[in-house]
Amino acid sequence: MEFLQPATWPEALAMKAAHPEALPIAGGTDVMVEINFDRQRPASVIDLTRIADLDEWGMDGAFLRIGAGVTYARIIDELGDRLPGLAMASRTVGSPQIRNRGTVGGNLGSASPAGDAHPPLLASDALVELASATGTRRLPAREFYIGPKRNAMRKDELIAAFLVEPAKGAQQFCKVGTRNAMVIAVCSFAVALDAERRQVGTGIGSAAPTPVRWPASASSSPPRRDPSTTCAARPPTAGTPWRCWPAGA
């Protein structure tokens, strides 16, 4: 197995262009399992752990731009106040060891329908930044997942970052599993309220071939709140937008 170890981002993109079949490795918490169980035997691997750009995050206009190599532990510690939904999901990932190594970029790369980062990214209308030696493009997360463990990344591309607006209202994440920790989601659900746009975003995991947004939440008509009502955690019937229900109804 050829082991490619770029030191800079341009070098990594050039290597990926020259070796489109090479498998990127970040935290390795998915890749090493695949190799150990002989599910994959890549001819070459590109180690992304030396690329400082992937470990950075900061504001980019109205968005937080978070490098693909930022780990779950750092999302929890450094971004928990700005991205509470993603931080909640990150707290449910594996064990402390997995959260110290595993990255959101790796979760996107694997594109498992059960990946815990996906529902909050969908709920917050995140963008995925893909880069190649020829340029960069940003794709809405909802267009990134194209099948079970398949994503829209081209063979010459790498995931540079994801972009998400800081929370503009309450966010929640819920994971149903067969036990409380170290468990794959039987089903997961994220919700993000946008108080400014009066919208509700959703993301659902382990319920379809890809992580999905609930179509009703993507409705162009923002949910309206009647001041005489209180919000109750009651799901609307299929096809109707999420709304506030009168107290006691």
Least separation in angstroms between residue 183's CB and ligand FAD is 6
- Cite the DSSP H helix spans in 53-176: 72-79, 84-91, 96-101, 104-110, 118-123, 141-144
Q: Which helix (H) or strand (E) holds 145?
A: strand 145-147
Choice between 115 and 201, CB closer to ligand FAD: 115
Choice between 173 and 214, CB closer to ligand FAD: 173
Least separation in angstroms between residue 113's CB and ligand FAD is 10
Cα–Cα distance, 202 to 115 (Å, whole number): 15
Choice between 134 and 230, CB closer to ligand FAD: 134
Write the burial class of residue 182 (CB in 10 Å: 0-12 exposed, 13-18 middle, 19+ buried). Answer: exposed
Least separation in angstroms between residue 188's CB and ligand FAD is 9
C-alpha gyration radius of the chain: 19
Residue 210: closest CA among 143, 163, 159: 143
Contact, 27 vs 101, CB < 8 A?
yes
Residue 113 corresponds to which amino acid?
Answer: P
Cα–Cα distance, 238 to 216 (Å, whole number): 8
Choice between 23 and 200, CB closer to ligand FAD: 23
Write the burial class of residue 179 (CB in 10 Å: 0-12 exposed, 13-18 middle, 19+ buried). Answer: exposed
Choice between 64 and 128, CB closer to ligand FAD: 128
Choice between 172 and 219, CB closer to ligand FAD: 172
Choice between 26 and 163, CB closer to ligand FAD: 26
Least separation in angstroms between residue 91's CB and ligand FAD is 10
Least separation in angstroms between residue 203's CB and ligand FAD is 13
Q: Site residues (CB under 6 A) for ligand FAD?
A: 23-31, 33, 48, 68, 92-94, 98, 101-103, 105-107, 109-110, 115-116, 158-159, 182
Least separation in angstroms between residue 219's CB and ligand FAD is 28
Least separation in angstroms between residue 136's CB and ligand FAD is 13
Cα–Cα distance, 94 to 22 (Å, whole number): 26
